[in-house]
């Protein structure tokens, strides 16, 4: 079972990391740089795989380091990823928004489409998102 994952693009640039926090309190994923349909799907499927290996109801999804929009992957995230994650046990999604207005708008669109799948909150900082997740009782 993978506790920590790093995914890289073809030329070696890291675009995604995920780790299971101590005691399976939550999964902490971070996205970096410019995202494509392929990178969003690869990272999304890696999160799904981690949930299936060891169910966890909470995800901190940090987009602070994302550059630009990834709205070309929104339909996939809405119609495939979110229902699969819910079926695998995800209940709470903490989204940390980036400073990029384009990436933030994409996240807001996604939340509007999947807010019936999970309880979702947005945050400016990872620490605030972590505090919220840890305050929840499964």
Number of domains the chain is built from: 1
Give the Cα separation of 38 and 13 in Å (integer).
Answer: 14
Against a cut of 0.85, is the pTM above it? Answer: yes
Which position has the token pair 């101590």?
A: 22
Residue 76 domain flag: yes
> What residues make up the domain containing 59?
4-121
Residue 132 lies in a domain: no
**Residue 128: inside a domain, yes or no?**
no
pLDDT, tens only, 74-123: 889 889 999 999 999 999 999 998 776 766 777 777 777 776 778 888 89
List Cα–Cα distances, 73 to 2, 32, 90, 127, in angstroms: 25, 16, 20, 27
Residue 138 is predicted with a pLDDT of 66
Structure confidence at residue 2 (pLDDT): 60
pLDDT per position as a tens digit, 9-59: 988 999 999 999 999 999 999 999 999 999 999 999 999 999 999 999 999
3-state secondary structure 66-82: EECCCHHHHHHHHHHHH
CATH of the domain at 30: 3.30.750.24
Give the pLDDT score at 115. 67
Tally of residues, the chain: 138
Across the beta sheet with 58-67, the strand order is 4-8, 14-20, 27-34, 58-67, 92-96, 119-123
């Amino acid at each position: 079972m993978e506790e920590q994952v790093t995914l890289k693009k073809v030329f070696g640039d890291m675009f995604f990391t995920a780790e299971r926090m101590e005691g399976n309190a939550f999964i902490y994923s971070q996205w970096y740089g410019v995202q494509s349909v392929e990178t969003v799907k690869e990272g999304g499927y890696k999160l799904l795989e981690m949930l299936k290996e060891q169910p966890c109801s909470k995800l901190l999804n940090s987009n602070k380091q994302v550059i630009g929009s990834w709205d070309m992957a929104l339909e996939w995230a809405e119609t495939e990823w979110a229902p699969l994650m819910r079926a695998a046990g995800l209940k709470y999604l903490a989204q940390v928004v980036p400073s990029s207005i384009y990436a933030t708008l994409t996240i807001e669109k996604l939340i509007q489409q999947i807010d019936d799948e999970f309880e979702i909150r947005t945050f400016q900082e990872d620490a605030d998102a972590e505090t919220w997740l840890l305050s929840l009782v499964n």
